[in-house]
Amino acid sequence: MAWFRACQRDLPWRRTRDPYAIWISEIMLQQTQVKTVIPYWERWMRELPTIRTLAEAKPERVLKLWEGLGYYSRARNLQAAATQIVNTHDGEFPRRYEDILNLPGIGRYTAGAVASIAFGQPTPLVDGNVARVLCRVLGLRGDPKSKETSAALWETAGGLVQAAHANEACSELNQGLMELGATICLPRGPLCAHCPVQSRCYAYQNNCVAELPEVAARPQTTARIFRAAIISSGEKILLRQRPPDVVNARFWELPNLEVTVSESASETLYKLARVKMEIAKPVCVIKHTITRYRIQTEVYETNSGTSISGGNFFTRRELHDIPIVSFHRKALQKIGLV
Ligand code: SF4
């Protein structure tokens, strides 16, 4: 805790005790790096500064503010939770742990983080960073995601934060554990020489830092190929909206199809929007990874094609204002359309 007070990074959400601001930061930080989150969080807090503004915002605006962070169900859950807070807690973020846990999209990690950081309550949290630190310091074996090891980690984190409660330091304890994992006790090449708990660390003292935590092997990645078309009509570009209840629901995207290696580009483009290959030119290939999928999207450009189901033509200006699947926005950026 003393180390955290002295060495913590100056992050914008650490300058406030507002539970709403802390909640937004915690949800954004899931699966996303701090340096990526900072501008998103600052823009969000400028545009939707309170729970009520979030509850009342148009869903498209919320998605637009989230565009590029991925896992869009998180943004939808934020708005659903804000609506629930307005309806059942008069717009005040609830203080009771059980009430926080009852909100859509909030699990025990986020509930523990908000309750301890905003309200100073002795609620534990375990994320990947905390799990790594505790496994190494205590010499805990087993995959941190396994039932037994996970239970042991939560119990240990609970004991620690209870102990910190006596000094009114629940926030520092929880944030200190996370900060240690994020900046010193790194997955590979931890900076043990600078670690404040080195003398008490089982892994360091027993020379087995590289063996802990015992993370299970990741599932193999699968390659998938898509083809997408940038179809223009005059100044306008054709996009289609993704249906509800799928990944990236209600986002706009370039017309695209998943293809097999053997399918030719001309076949795909014709199926997509009756585009003839002779008048389409390849523009770029966008690569990205989602969970265990390595996705490669070949993008073609043409000024000829019919509209498609769920499709709409947008001006360049409109392209700036609507939520677009981020790797399709990259393709539009490559040819200077946005
Ligand atoms: Fe992690 Fe090394 Fe510190 Fe142990 S001594 S907690 S392994 S950084």
Q: What is the pLDDT of residue 278?
A: 65
Write down the pTM of the prediction. Answer: 0.83
177 lines ligand 1 (CB under 6 A): no
Q: Are 233 and 313 in contact (CB under 8 A)?
A: yes
Distance 117 CA to ligand 1 centre (A): 24
Q: What is the pLDDT of residue 306?
A: 66
Q: What is the pLDDT of residue 29?
A: 96
Q: What is the pLDDT of residue 37?
A: 97
Q: What is the pLDDT of residue 70?
A: 85
Residues in the chain: 338
Q: What is the pLDDT of residue 246?
A: 86
Give kind and range of the element (H or E) at residue 268. Answer: helix 265-273
Which residue numbers in the chain have pLDDT < 50? Answer: none
Q: What is the pLDDT of residue 43?
A: 98
Distance 20 CA to ligand 1 centre (A): 33
**Rounded to an integer, what distance in angstroms lies between the CA atom of residue 79 and that of residue 54?**
6
Give kind and range of the element (H or E) at residue 163. Answer: helix 147-165
Residue 26 a catalytic site member: yes
Distance 291 CA to ligand 1 centre (A): 29
Q: What is the pLDDT of residue 142?
A: 95
**Rounded to an integer, what distance in angstroms lies between the CA atom of residue 200 and that of residue 324?**
49
Collapsing DSSP to helix, strand or coil, 92 comes out as: coil
Identify which of 185, 200, 207, 212 to mutate to test ligand 1's pocket (most ligand atoms within 8 A of the CB): 185
Q: What is the pLDDT of residue 277?
A: 60
323 preceded by a cis bond (ω within 30 of 0): no
Q: What is the pLDDT of residue 25?
A: 98
The ligand 1 atom nearest the CA atom of 212:
7
